[in-house]
Amino acid sequence: MDPASAHEHLNDYQFVDVRKAYEWKAGHVEGAVHITLQELPARIDEIESSRPVVFVCQIGQRSGIATRFARERGYDAHNLEGGVERWVQEGFPLFDGSDAPGSVVDGWAETLEW
């Protein structure tokens, strides 16, 4: 899902950020919940299965894995194309819990065994 479409559905869809804690703390989509990619198999039930979910990471690689994992379990799951990097490039804000705007920090690729 492209950032503009995702932003349009910000209040309708669940947003789950699968990045590491330090990446999340630097800046995330407002209203998103934080479940790292490695925690997802154990915490998938925390995501409502009755609402669409958009998975978020830095560039879309980890969130793509999360999307596939969730779809295999019956979720209406979407990958935020280009991740938070593209989200910011398209002019949408990140939040870090303070009054200052959040930022994107470098993460790294991961895999998930399931």
- Alpha helices, H only, the chain: 3-8, 21-26, 40-43, 61-71, 83-89
Mean pLDDT of 53-82: 97
pLDDT tens digits, residue range 76-93?
A: 999 999 999 999 999 999
- Provide the percentage of residues in the chain whose pLDDT is more than 90: 83
The topology (CATH level 3) of 3-89 is: Oxidized Rhodanese; domain 1 (3.40.250)
Write the DSSP symbol of residue 102.
P
14-17 and 77-79 strand pairing:
unpaired
Tokens of 64: 């793509």
| Domain chopping of the chain, boundaries | 3-89
Q: pLDDT band for position 104 (50/70/90)?
A: confident
Structure tokens belonging to residue 65 = 């894995």
Q: What is the pTM of this model?
A: 0.90
pLDDT at 105 over 70: yes
Q: Look at residue 101 and tell me whether its pLDDT is greater than 70.
A: no
